[in-house]
Amino acid sequence: MKLKALPPLPRQISSDGSIWFLSFVSGVGVVAAGILLQWLIYDNWLHTAGLRLVGSALAGGLTFIFAFRWQSAIRERRIEMLRRFETIGRMNDRIRNALQAIECATYATNPQATEPVRNAVDVIEGVLKEVMVDTHPVRSATAPERRSRADVTI
């Protein structure tokens, strides 16, 4: 069974206009449903005249407010998540650069000590790759592969 890939996180963040539109449509939908149900019940089944518009309008207004606040909260949560992922990405790059400097410095001073340092660097790099795959599964899968340390000759 093939899973559908989600779009990247920046595309999942709703714009202000779409939040307003969705809230407005929700409110109008509740008002229309309320008026339709009142018309069916009072006019067709009970054969009495009159619609109660105030209650339907109040329900529509409350639905608008609820939908607007709900969608705004989702948007803020996704923006904060995107900021965290960008911070993790920057942290990953800085740690990788520092590890490469340690590895090169160790090799230059004592060639026999490079194997334990290289193993430690590889373990840390593996953990960083796991974190990046967990935080950016789509980005990591489509990003071009970086050259590993085994491919680089010193």
Could you give the CA distance from residue 118 to residue 128 in angstroms, rounded to a whole number?
Answer: 15
CB 27 within 8 A of CB 56: no
Residue 109 has pLDDT above 90, yes or no: no
- Among 73, 66, 72, smallest CA distance to 17 is for 72
Domain boundaries along the sequence of the chain: 13-142
Residue 46 has pLDDT above 60, yes or no: yes
What's the DSSP call for residue 34? H
What's the DSSP call for residue 143? S
Per-residue pLDDT of 51-97, as tens digits, reads 778 889 999 999 999 999 999 999 999 889 888 888 888 887 888 78
